[in-house]
């Protein structure tokens, strides 16, 4: 009996090599394989197994019994099932935008998938000021298809409820409820506040009762609005990219929630890249050019999402009442409002909470970092409070630009 069928344990590189040789049939039986752990996320272990001679490689991703970032977060390794299943579903809904899954192993809580090493992690590429002209088009196709085609507007309601059951994800949702909606908005011991930012957080966020009330409403919206099957953590570290291809990875936070959650995360993380560019590009012309590209991308993400939403709505709506005049605009307005609010929460939580983003922490000049953090917090707060008024990509960007000159 193989050690891989006797019960779960967390694998080291040598175990993964053994697993690839004895359990999988991806490689030639005489192949000389090598293995390296390459994960740098907050939760899991990611191994690349290579047959260099044949130029073949795969990824084996294993969920540990707690988060990699801190063993305070006990998260069931069943998240690997959620990840494998949703990647297969997203492949059917939005082909070409996710890695292929070859196998899910419920004993070892790992999945075997396509190696995307010809792509790069988008956050890193943006920090090197690389441009991706097709990104807005790709990500809006991915989001409209995965979000709308899994909603009650376009799905049989009983089948949708089965998906809600299958993708109930209480532990990972709890992380988001705490880390995104709760802890950044008070002086939580688990927060990680850059000292020059503390005063601003105390005055402008933690003591603003109107803001706190809105964050409570948003948290309940996140917990109770089973609108669409979300990716659930769609930041630029969850995107593998190259100029002509965009692949969305790491959907272990997937569950049925408000569609604007995914769109808002994309927008907020592009704003982090925008503030990184402002703080780190020395040459003025290069800075204007790169920020200009990011600005257009942010605008297009919102606006192409709206255009593609309308097209899909026309083609795929099955729910009779959703076809009533005006319901499409009502539904879309709610998603745009939620997008603004979620972008606002993400902007605040990545500055004040436990899980930061490198776009900001890598800014070496401390004054520039403090300025970037203040802008992110101010934009975040405005997005939350003004969410009913922000209707287009340009509206989002004018908030960012207004705070840059204040």
Residue of 125, 117, 90, 105 lying closest to 5 (CA atoms): 105
Q: Which does 73 bind (CB under 5 to 8 A by kind): ligand SR1, Mg ion, none?
A: ligand SR1
CB atoms within 10 A of CB 373: 25
Residue 404: CB minimum distance to ligand SR1, A: 26
Provide the mask over 175-194, with x wherever binding to ligand SR1 is found by CB under 6 A and - wherever it is not. xx--x---------------
Number of residues that bind ligand SR1 (CB under 6 A): 10
Does residue 254 touch ligand SR1 according to CB under 6 A?
no
Does residue 252 touch ligand SR1 according to CB under 6 A?
no
Q: What is the C-alpha separation between 255 and 229, in angstroms, rounded?
A: 6
What is the number of alpha carbons within 13 Å of residue 337 lying toward its C-beta? Answer: 16
Residue 117: CB minimum distance to Mg ion, A: 17
Does residue 42 touch ligand SR1 according to CB under 6 A?
yes
Provide the mask over 48-67, with x wherever binding to ligand SR1 is found by CB under 6 A and - wherever it is not. -------------------x
* Closer CB to ligand SR1, 355 or 385, in the complex: 355
* Closer CB to ligand SR1, 69 or 362, in the complex: 69
User: Interface residues for ligand SR1 in 228-247 (CB under 6 A)?
Assistant: 233
Strand partners, 101: 113
CA torsion through residues 136, 141, 146, 148, sign? positive
Among 4, 73, 255, 293, binds ligand SR1 (CB under 6 A): 73
Q: Which does 31 bind (CB under 5 to 8 A by kind): Mg ion, ligand SR1, none?
A: none
* Closer CB to ligand SR1, 69 or 288, in the complex: 69
State how beta strands 228-230 and 56-62 pair. unpaired
Q: Which does 175 bind (CB under 5 to 8 A by kind): ligand SR1, Mg ion, none?
A: ligand SR1
Q: Which residue is nearest to ligand SR1 (CB)?
A: 42
CB atoms within 10 A of CB 115: 16
Residues forming contacts to Mg ion in the complex (CB under 5 A) are: 41, 250
- Burial class of residue 380, CB neighbours in 10 A (0-12, 13-18, 19+): buried
Does residue 69 touch ligand SR1 according to CB under 6 A?
yes
Provide the mask over 84-113, with x wherever binding to ligand SR1 is found by CB under 6 A and - wherever it is not. ------------------------------
Collect contacts of 192-196 with beta carbons under 8 A, ≥24 apart: 192/352, 192/353, 192/354, 192/356, 193/352, 194/351, 194/369, 194/370, 194/373, 196/366, 196/369, 196/370, 196/373
Contact 184, 191 (CB under 8 A): yes
Residue 20: CB minimum distance to ligand SR1, A: 26
335: Cβ contacts below 8 Å, ≥ 6 apart: 258, 259, 260, 263, 309
Q: Which residue is nearest to Mg ion (CB)?
A: 250
Residue of 91, 84, 30 lying closest to 62 (CA atoms): 84
Residue 179: CB minimum distance to ligand SR1, A: 4
Contact 298, 268 (CB under 8 A): no
Binding site for ligand SR1 (CB under 6 A): 42-43, 67, 69, 73, 175-176, 179, 233, 355
């Amino acid at each position: 009996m193989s050690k891989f069928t006797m019960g779960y344990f967390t694998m080291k590189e040598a175990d993964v090599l053994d697993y690839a040789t004895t359990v999988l049939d991806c490689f030639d039986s005489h192949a000389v394989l090598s293995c390296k752990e390459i994960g740098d996320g907050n939760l899991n272990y990611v191994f690349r197994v290579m047959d260099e001679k044949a130029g073949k490689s795969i990824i084996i991703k294993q969920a540990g019994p707690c988060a990699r970032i801190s063993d305070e977060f006990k998260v069931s390794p069943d998240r690997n099932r959620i990840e494998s299943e949703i990647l297969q579903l997203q492949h059917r809904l939005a082909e070409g935008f996710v890695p292929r899954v070859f196998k899910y192993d419920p004993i070892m809580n790992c999945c075997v998938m396509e190696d995307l090493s010809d792509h790069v992690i988008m956050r890193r590429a943006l920090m090197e000021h690389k441009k991706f002209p097709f990104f807005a088009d790709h990500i809006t196709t991915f989001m409209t298809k995965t979000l709308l085609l899994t909603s009650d507007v376009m799905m049989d309601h009983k089948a949708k409820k089965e998906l809600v059951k299958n993708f109930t994800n209480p532990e990972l949702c709890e992380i988001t409820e705490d880390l995104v909606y709760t802890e950044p908005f008070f002086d939580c011991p688990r927060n990680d506040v850059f000292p020059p930012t503390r005063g601003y957080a105390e005055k402008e966020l933690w003591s603003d009762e109107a803001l706190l009330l809105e964050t409570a409403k948003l948290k309940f919206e996140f917990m109770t609005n089973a609108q669409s099957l979300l990716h659930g953590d769609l930041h630029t570290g969850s995107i593998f990219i190259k100029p002509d291809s965009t692949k969305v990875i790491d959907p272990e936070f997937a569950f049925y929630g408000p569609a604007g959650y995914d769109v808002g995360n994309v927008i907020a993380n592009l704003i982090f890249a925008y503030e990184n560019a402002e703080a780190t590009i020395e040459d003025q012309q290069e800075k204007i050019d790169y920020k200009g590209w990011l600005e257009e991308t942010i605008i297009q993400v919102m606006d192409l999402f709206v255009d593609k939403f309308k097209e899909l709505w026309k083609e795929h709506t099955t729910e009779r009442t959703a076809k009533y005049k005006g319901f499409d605009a009502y539904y879309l307005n709610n998603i745009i409002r939620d997008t603004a609010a979620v972008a606002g929460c993400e902007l605040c939580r990545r500055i004040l909470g436990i899980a930061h983003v490198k776009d900001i922490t890598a800014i070496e000049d401390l004054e520039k970092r403090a300025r970037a953090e203040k802008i992110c917090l101010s934009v975040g707060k405005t997005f939350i409070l003004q969410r009913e008024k922000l209707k287009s990509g340009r509206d989002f960007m004018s908030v960012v630009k207004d705070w840059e000159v204040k």
